[in-house]
Amino acid sequence: MTTKLILTVFLASCAIFHIARAQDNAANLLVKHTWAIDEDMMSGLGTHQSLPAGTQITFSADGNWQSTQPIFNATSGTWQLKGNDNLLMQFGSKAKKSKGKILKINEKELSFKIKRRSTAHTYTWHAK
C-alpha cells in the first residue's frame, strides 16, 4: 500500500513538473525572439486584412507585446500564457482580451490562432 502511494505521488509530481516546464519553455521561446510574419489566414465571416510582409512582433517578459504593423488596429498590448498553449492577447489598452492557442513553437517557428468575434486568425512567424 505504501509503495503504491509513493509511486502515485512520484508520477503525479513528474506530470506537474513536465507541464510547468513546457509552459515555461513556451513563454521563454516567445520572449527570446523577434518574430517576422510568414503567413496569416482568416476563417469565418468578415473581411480579411493581411499583415504586410516584414511585419514583426516581439513579446516581452513583463507581459507586453509590440508589433511593427497594426494587428486588429493595435501595435501593442498585453499577453498571457495559460497552461501549455492557451494564449490570451489584448490588442490595445482598452480592448477585451482575445483567446488564442499556440499551434507550434520552437527555436525557428511560431504559429498561433486568435479567435475574435466570428473569425479565427492563424498567424505563422519565423524567428529573426
Q: What is the pLDDT of residue 83?
A: 86
**Which band of pLDDT confidence, cut at 50, 70 and 90, is reported for residue 103?**
very high
Q: What is the pLDDT of residues 23-42, one digit of tens each?
A: 458 999 999 999 999 999 99
Question: How is residue 122 written as a grid cell?
Answer: 492563424
Q: How far apart are CA 24 and CA 26, in angstroms?
A: 6
Checking if the pLDDT of 104 tops 80, the result is: yes
The separation between CA 67 and the C-alpha centre of its own chain, rounded to angstroms, equals 14
Residue ranges and CATH numbers for the domains of the chain are 2-127 (2.40.128.10)
**What's the pLDDT score for residue 109?**
97
* Residues in contact with 97: Cβ distance below 8 Å, sequence separation at least 6, in sequence order: 78, 80, 88, 89, 90
Going from the C-alpha of 73 to that of each of 32, 36, 95, 111, 117, the distances in angstroms are 25, 18, 10, 20, 15
pLDDT value of residue 8: 52
